[in-house]
Amino acid sequence: MWHEIGLTHYLVVAAALFVIGLYTVATRRNLVAVLMGVELIFNAAALNFVAFSHWVEGAVGGQVFALFVIVIAATEAAVALAIVLAIWRNFRSIDVADTTELRQ
Amino acid sequence: MSPAAAVVFYALAAAVVISALGVALARSIVTSALSLLGTLGGVAGLYLWIGADFLGIAQILIYVGGVLVLVLFAILMTHRIGDSRLTNLSAGVTVAAPSTIALGALLMKAALKTPWPVTEAAAAPTTARLGDALLDEWLLPFEVASLVLLLALVGAMVIARRAAHQKTRPADVA
Amino acid sequence: MSFVWLAILFPLVGAALNGALAVAGAKPPRWVHHAIALAAMAGAATVAIAAAVVLVQAPHEARRLVAPAWALLPGPGLREPLALVVDPLSATLFLVITVVGALIHVYATGYMAADRAPARFFAALNLFVAAMLLLVLGSSLVTLFFGWEGVGLCSWLLIGFWYEEPANARAAMKAFVVNRIGDLGLLLGMALLAWRVTGGALSFDAVVATGLHADGGALTAALVLLVVGAAGKSAQLPLSIWLPDAMAGPTPVSALIHAATMVTAGVYLLARLGPLYARAPQAMLVVAILGAATALWAALAATAQSDLKRVLAYSTISQLGFMFLGAGAGASEAALFHVVTHALFKALLFLAAGVVIHAVHEADHHAGEHGDPQALARMGGLAAALPWTRRAYLVGCWAIAGMPWAAGFFSKDAILGATLARHGWPLFLVATGAAGLTSLYMFRSYYLVFRARAPRAALAAHAVEALDKKDGAAMRRMVGVLVVLAGAVLVAGPLLGLPEALTGRAPVLEHWLAPVTSAGVERAAAPHALELVAMGLSLAAAVAGWALARALWADEARGAALRETLASAFGRFEAPARDGFGLDALAARAVVAPYRRLSSLVAGFDRGVVDGIVALVAMLARGAAWLSGAIDRYVVDGAVNGVARLVVAGGRRLRRAQTGRVNTYVLVVVLGVLLLGVLTTLGAR
């Protein structure tokens, strides 16, 4: 089965990518690193869509979705990184541990 | 399919996963950023392998050319120039690792066990079809997406610029 | 016959009034206090005379007035109706107490004319009379005891009247304590009687009635115990140590209490139970020996005294010894006769001595000197200054010495005769010796006070001048009383007591008293010859005493040689005699010192053990309190605080979930999803 690449292969890769992205978000103290993790998650989701669109329906809907994911990811990256800059200016640090104003 | 295609796929998959691990575990933030480059590129390769040509190219153009550059900019703007050891610490690994691994196991199990209604499709250029779909069936999301892009542009500018009342602190210029 | 109660009530009211004035601090004019006291005494005396009149008119065997009150001591076994009984015995003393008492009250108004606290004085004096009357008129041993204690209290009040002087207070305390020792005997005797003899009743009627039929040791033992009580009150050996010191009180007090009335209470008790004593020869012998020994011992001591009042004090002890001797010889009537005559002449002597002392005191003031006004050494040649006093004193000496005609002659003779008849020559000779000494020391005091003595001539002159200036009314009052008493002394003897040997009939007083004191007892009538022998011997002793005194002291110069001889022979006895032959010192060593040691031992026990226990308990209580506090602080508060701390710590730990970090929240989402997945998987299975 290993040489017959199918849907499940892609799903597994996407799952691994997703989980690693989650790990990055959950663990990293650098805000930018957290954002990079979020990008990983986006990519995993888009990969899933594309895989499904190829193997399950044959329609192009999945790819459209993946396209939109890319768009939104870019948008989100822009805004988030602008926020990071603002945080940097206010806190002089982009360590997550230092931006805990909402901490109880 | 030919074994060569399978090998390529595995190579691409390995690149993606290893690069992702690099993002997750690298000590230096710049190393993480460059690993992200690898991941994004690998994903683009996977798109191409599957026959989503437009998407693969779009991935490279937007992600690698746009988002990654943006990330690098952010990194370099938010750290002191000259601080070679750009810190990138991890915290809470003891809880995060097991739980994410467990989640991953769950997902993979779901992926492997579920009987997907698989149909084999032929590879075909997708650009025209994508364009049709965007202007036909997916017109509204398309327009909304463009609006979102505009708002994001403006919003990012607003957030990122220096406020008028904000004084320049001497440390800022360090 | 309840009017008899008035006799007690009047003095009681008088005491209450004067007492209230004293306590309230009011200061009315002096005559108000005098009037209250004298009115009370006049009332009491009137009642006494009225009762005596009633009694005289009754037939000889049935002379008895009963004045009951209410039932006293309503307890099991002792049913004593409180009542006063006037019979010949109590009537005699009734008259003596009220009449002589009234005279002494009059004297006191003069003597205490300058005192600062007349209200307290006359209140105590009246109270004393009330208590004494209760003692004498009571119908039972219990009422007698109440009166007994009452006179003891008043004696204490009056001896220590000038209490600012510590010596006076000590003397009062001494009298009270020694009396108390005697009272113990009295109480034990009463208890023994009630328990063993009478079966619970203590009225005189019951006691005499049951006692006459009782035999054996219980009765004798009880009677001897009662003698102990009587000896305390009547200053017999060895309980006599209080009387000489009691002279610290004002002279009227000495006259009334320590000569005429209180000290005779013991004799009264013996006379009251006379019929019983007649049946207990051992008890009677004890009484007789006690009386004779006391008489001799006191007479010896009296000859060596240097203080006028102390001479009279020892004289009183000696005369009381005579009375006891009489009671112990079966001649209770004679003893009571002597009580009456002694009351008259001893009061006379004391009051006259009071005038003398007053004169010396005034002379000192006049001359600017200071000294003891009672010291015989400072007196002499006062005949000119105090003529009537001298005569009165002389009458008193005549009487006490037992010279012919005067009261003491007959009464003493009666006692001596009875002693000879009943107990034989030894006691008789002892008593006669004492009588001779009586004459000696009394005339010694007379000569020393009134006859000319060269060194004291100056004093005498001062006295004359001082008294001329002094307020005459007070002096006239005092001397007037002296005259009245002297007259009574001269008259009482023949009136009351001409002996059978001379008249062929029983003496008046004896006849009067016989139904009471000799009920149911056949009298051993002394043979007349023996009586005459006794009379002759006692007269000889008296005259010899007078002659010796005259030779030694009447004229200072002439007696010097004789005095020298006697001084070399007997000189070494003088100091011991003056101190009463060391009786006081003996008492101090034998009784007081061990008692003090015992008290300090007990006090030490109290401090060490009792206080120690208390302190221990307190410590335990403190410890318990500390423990309770500690439990409260550590356990209870600890629990409460612990819960609070737990909550806070828990909160703090839980708060850590709110890290404020984004990645934490993502992790939480992951975990939630995981949880959901697990649950779904499990659920699907």
Domains belonging to chain A, first-starting first, are 7-99 (1.10.287.3510)
Contact: A11, B160; criterion CB under 8 Å: no
What are the chain B neighbours of C663 within 8 Å (beta carbons)?
91-92, 96
CA distance C292 to C337: 17
- DSSP letter at A101? T
Q: Indicate which of C670, C679, C682 best probes the interface with B, i.e. most B CBs within 10 Å of its own CB.
A: C670
Helical segments of C371-527, H only: 387-401, 407-423, 425-450, 457-469, 472-497, 500-503, 508-517
Helical segments of C86-117, H only: 88-95, 101-111
CA distance B91 to C501: 145
Contact: B99, C677; criterion CB under 8 Å: no
Q: What's the confidence (pLDDT) of residue A41? A: 94
Q: What's the confidence (pLDDT) of residue C22? A: 84
Residues C30-58 have pLDDT tens digits of 888 888 888 989 998 988 888 888 888 87
Residue C438 and residue C318 in contact, taking contact as beta carbons nearer than 8 Å = yes
Q: What's the confidence (pLDDT) of residue C527? A: 66
Contact: A34, C662; criterion CB under 8 Å: yes
Beta-ladder partners of C474: none
User: Does C600 contact A at CB distance below 8 Å?
Assistant: no
The three state secondary structure string of C238-280 is CCCCHHHHHHHCCHHHHHHHHHHCHHHHHHHHHHHCHHHHHCC
> What's the rounded mean pLDDT across residues C361-390?
73
CA distance A52 to A10: 9
pLDDT greater than 70 at residue B62: yes
> What's the rounded mean pLDDT across residues B140-162?
89
CA-based nearest residue in chain C for residue A37: C663
CA-based nearest residue in chain B for residue A56: B118
Q: What's the confidence (pLDDT) of residue C471? A: 61
What are the chain A neighbours of C665 within 8 Å (beta carbons)?
none
Of C339, C347, C348, residue with least CA distance to C408? C339
What separation in angstroms does the CA of B144 have from each of A62, A69, B60, B74, B138? 18, 13, 23, 27, 10
- Among the partner-chain residues A26, A99, A101, the one whose CB lies closest to the CB of C666 is A26
Nearest-CA distance from A21 to chain C in Å? 11
Residue B34 and residue A40 in contact, taking contact as beta carbons nearer than 8 Å = no
Contact: C667, B103; criterion CB under 8 Å: no
What separation in angstroms does the CA of B94 have from each of B101, C342, C512, C558, C654? 11, 126, 132, 140, 18
DSSP chain B: --HHHHHHHHHHHHHHHHHHHHHHH-SSHHHHHHHHHHHHHHHHHHHHHHT-HHHHHHIIIIIIIIIIHHHHHHHHHSS-TT--S----B--HHHHHHHHHHHHHHHHHHHHHS------------HHHHHHHHHHTTHHHHHHHHHHHHHHHHHHHHHHSPPTTPPPPGGGG-
Of C484, C161, C172, C472, residue with least CA distance to C352? C484
Residue B87's contacts (CB-CB under 8 Å, 6 or more residues apart) are A30, A95, B29
**Chains near A (3 or more Cβ pairs under 8 Å):** B, C
What are the chain A neighbours of C648 within 8 Å (beta carbons)?
none
DSSP C583-622: HHHHHIIIIIHHHHHHHHHHHHHIIIIIHHHHHHHHHHHH
Contact: B103, C677; criterion CB under 8 Å: yes
- Among the partner-chain residues C663, C664, C674, the one whose CB lies closest to the CB of B99 is C674
Question: Is C151 strand, coil or helix?
Answer: helix
Nearest-CA distance from A45 to chain B in Å? 11
Contact: A3, B3; criterion CB under 8 Å: yes
User: Does C191 contact A at CB distance below 8 Å?
Assistant: no
Sites in chain A below the pLDDT cut of 70:
1-2, 57-58, 102-104
Q: What's the confidence (pLDDT) of residue C127? A: 92
**pLDDT-derived band of residue B174, with 50, 70 and 90 as boundaries?**
very low
Of B87, B24, B69, B29, residue with least CA distance to A32? B29
Q: ipTM more than 0.85?
A: yes
Contact: C663, A25; criterion CB under 8 Å: yes
Contact: C667, B102; criterion CB under 8 Å: no
If one compares C573 and B21, the residue with the highest pLDDT of the two is: B21
CA-based nearest residue in chain A for residue C653: A104
Beta-ladder partners of A95: A30
Nearest-CA distance from B82 to chain A in Å? 16
> What's the rounded mean pLDDT across residues C315-320?
89
What are the chain A neighbours of B137 within 8 Å (beta carbons)?
61
> What's the rounded mean pLDDT across residues C205-221?
77
* Least reliable range by pLDDT among B2-16, B150-164, C556-570: C556-570
pLDDT greater than 80 at residue C224: yes
CA-based nearest residue in chain B for residue C664: B92
pLDDT greater than 70 at residue C4: yes
Residues B25-35 have pLDDT tens digits of 888 888 889 99
CA distance A56 to A35: 31
Percent of chain C with pLDDT over 70: 83
Nearest-CA distance from C671 to chain A in Å? 11
DSSP C38-88: HHHHHHHHHHHHHHHHHHHHS-GGG--EEEEEEEEEEETTEEEEEEEEE-H
Nearest-CA distance from A102 to chain C in Å? 5
CA distance B66 to B37: 11
What are the chain C neighbours of B100 within 8 Å (beta carbons)?
670
* Least reliable range by pLDDT among B141-155, C7-21, C262-276: C262-276
- Among the partner-chain residues C663, C670, C681, the one whose CB lies closest to the CB of B99 is C670
CA distance A39 to B24: 12
- Among the partner-chain residues A6, A18, A37, the one whose CB lies closest to the CB of B23 is A37
- Among the partner-chain residues B92, B102, B106, the one whose CB lies closest to the CB of C667 is B92
Contact: B100, C671; criterion CB under 8 Å: no
If one compares C438 and C275, the residue with the highest pLDDT of the two is: C438
- DSSP letter at C3? T
- Among the partner-chain residues C655, C663, C670, the one whose CB lies closest to the CB of A28 is C663
- Among the partner-chain residues B17, B63, B138, the one whose CB lies closest to the CB of A64 is B138
Q: Indicate which of A2, A9, A24, A48 best probes the interface with B, i.e. most B CBs within 10 Å of its own CB.
A: A24
Contact: C666, A25; criterion CB under 8 Å: yes
CA distance C587 to C605: 26
- Average pLDDT score over chain C: 80
C675 burial via Cβ count (<10 Å: 0-12, 13-18, 19+): exposed
- Among the partner-chain residues A22, A100, A104, the one whose CB lies closest to the CB of C661 is A100
Nearest-CA distance from B128 to chain C in Å? 39
What are the chain C neighbours of A25 within 8 Å (beta carbons)?
662-663, 666
CA distance C452 to C455: 9
CA distance A31 to A87: 10
C615 burial via Cβ count (<10 Å: 0-12, 13-18, 19+): exposed
CA-based nearest residue in chain C for residue B103: C674
Of C490, C483, C319, C338, residue with least CA distance to C406? C490
Nearest-CA distance from C680 to chain A in Å? 19
- For C397-425, give one letter per residue: b (16+ CB within 10 A) or e: bbbbbbbeebbbbbbbbbbbbbbbbbbee
What are the chain C neighbours of A22 within 8 Å (beta carbons)?
666, 670
What's the one-letter identity of residue B142?
F
Residue C438 and residue C299 in contact, taking contact as beta carbons nearer than 8 Å = yes
CA distance C387 to C373: 19
**pLDDT-derived band of residue C326, with 50, 70 and 90 as boundaries?**
confident
Q: What's the confidence (pLDDT) of residue B87? A: 52
What's the one-letter identity of residue C351?
L
Of C41, C55, C32, C53, residue with least CA distance to C7? C41
Tokens representing residue C435 in the block: 């009588």
- Residue C640: count of CB within 10 angstroms of its CB: 10
Residue C112 and residue C242 in contact, taking contact as beta carbons nearer than 8 Å = no
What are the chain C neighbours of B94 within 8 Å (beta carbons)?
none
CA distance C186 to C189: 5
Contact: A104, C658; criterion CB under 8 Å: yes
Residues C229-271 have pLDDT tens digits of 888 888 787 788 888 888 888 888 888 887 778 777 888 888 8
User: Does C660 contact A at CB distance below 8 Å?
Assistant: yes
User: Does C664 contact B at CB distance below 8 Å?
Assistant: yes
Residues C514-545 have pLDDT tens digits of 666 665 555 555 567 777 777 788 888 888 88
Which residue in this structure is represented by tokens 């992200």?
Answer: B36
Helical segments of C329-386, H only: 332-367
- DSSP letter at C216? S
pLDDT greater than 50 at residue C642: yes
> What number of C-beta contacts closer than 8 Å exist between B and C?
22
How long is chain B? 174
Q: What's the confidence (pLDDT) of residue C505? A: 56
CA-based nearest residue in chain A for residue C662: A96
Tokens representing residue C340 in the block: 């009456």
> What's the rounded mean pLDDT across residues C132-148?
88
Contact: C660, A101; criterion CB under 8 Å: yes
> What's the rounded mean pLDDT across residues B55-84?
83
Nearest-CA distance from B84 to chain A in Å? 15
Residue C346 and residue C312 in contact, taking contact as beta carbons nearer than 8 Å = yes
Instruction: Provide the phi-psi class of C58: left if phi over 0, else alpha when psi is between -120 and 50, else beta.
Output: beta
- Among the partner-chain residues C663, C664, C673, the one whose CB lies closest to the CB of B103 is C673
Q: What's the confidence (pLDDT) of residue C77? A: 47
Residues C153-201 have pLDDT tens digits of 999 999 989 888 888 888 898 888 888 888 888 999 888 888 877 777 7
- Among the partner-chain residues A63, A79, A89, the one whose CB lies closest to the CB of B52 is A63
- Residue C537: count of CB within 10 angstroms of its CB: 18
pLDDT greater than 70 at residue C81: no
**Chains near B (3 or more Cβ pairs under 8 Å):** A, C
- Among the partner-chain residues A22, A25, A100, the one whose CB lies closest to the CB of C660 is A100
